[in-house]
């Protein structure tokens, strides 16, 4: 099933990528100034291949390979542990690139990992932009189908993890926050779980949960946000 999803994403990417490249600066413009490194954070059952369309589109708009990174983690474990891994990964990216901050783009359960890093592990000063695509930021009832995994227990609405994560300011510090969510998501239930108080929240009229990963208009919107 995972192989089928990966193949589907690759096909969608090849078809859609031709439409990319209109939202950001030209490659010639980008060559004159370094971009903030982007760290992509996948969701439940995901991996780095989920970002092939986004990465290809960003490259088309002038990002270099040294500015694009995909964090992979064990999605069955506690999101707090995965967030600890993200903290170490960001430190590595900063050391490698010489940058002072990163931009984070997450999908699905990656929202919980990213938000825990920013709010609970001192990551906020190191994150310039945080973009959440179909993020399970306030949980999803769909997690009831995978409660054998601690990550899903934490992702189920009403969990102690979510209560701790979302207590207080949902968008702290000087980081800029944005979300993209849709009533056609089908996995984030309710779909209004994604928006964060204080963020720029973008309602996408109709896009599926995995479809977001190859949705060119959304990815272009994310890129414009990162460049703001």
**Does pTM top 0.75 for this prediction?**
yes
Cα-to-chain-centroid distance, residue 156 = 19
* pLDDT at residue 223 is higher than 60: yes
Q: What is the pLDDT of residue 34?
A: 80
State pLDDT tens for residues 134-173.
999 999 999 999 999 999 999 999 999 999 999 999 999 9
Residue 202, strand partner residues? 180
In this predicted structure, what is the pLDDT of residue 25?
Answer: 41
Helix axes 2-16, 52-60, angle to 10 degrees: 20
Counted residue by residue, the chain has a size of 228
Mean pLDDT of the residues in the chain: 90
């Amino acid at each position: 099933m995972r192989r089928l999803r990966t193949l589907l994403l690759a096909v969608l990417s090849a078809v859609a990528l031709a439409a990319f490249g209109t939202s950001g600066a030209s490659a010639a413009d980008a060559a004159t100034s370094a971009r903030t490194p982007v760290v992509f954070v996948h969701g439940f059952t995901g991996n780095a291949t989920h970002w092939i369309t986004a990465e290809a589109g960003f490259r088309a708009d002038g990002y270099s390979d040294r500015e694009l990174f995909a964090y992979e983690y064990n999605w069955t474990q506690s999101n707090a542990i995965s967030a600890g891994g993200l903290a170490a990964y960001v430190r590595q990216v900063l050391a490698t690139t010489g940058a002072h901050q990163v931009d984070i783009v997450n999908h699905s359960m990656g929202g919980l990992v990213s938000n825990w890093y920013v709010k609970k592990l001192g990551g906020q000063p190191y994150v310039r932009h945080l973009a959440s695509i179909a993020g399970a930021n306030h949980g999803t009832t769909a997690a009831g189908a995978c409660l054998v995994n601690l990550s899903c227990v934490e992702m189920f609405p009403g969990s102690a993890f979510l209560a701790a994560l979302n207590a207080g300011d949902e968008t702290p510090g000087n980081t800029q926050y944005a979300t993209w969510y849709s009533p056609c998501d089908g996995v984030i239930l309710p779909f209004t779980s994604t928006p964060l108080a204080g963020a720029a929240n973008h309602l996408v009229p109709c896009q599926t949960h995995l479809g977001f990963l190859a949705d060119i208009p959304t990815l272009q919107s994310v890129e414009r946000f990162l460049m703001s």
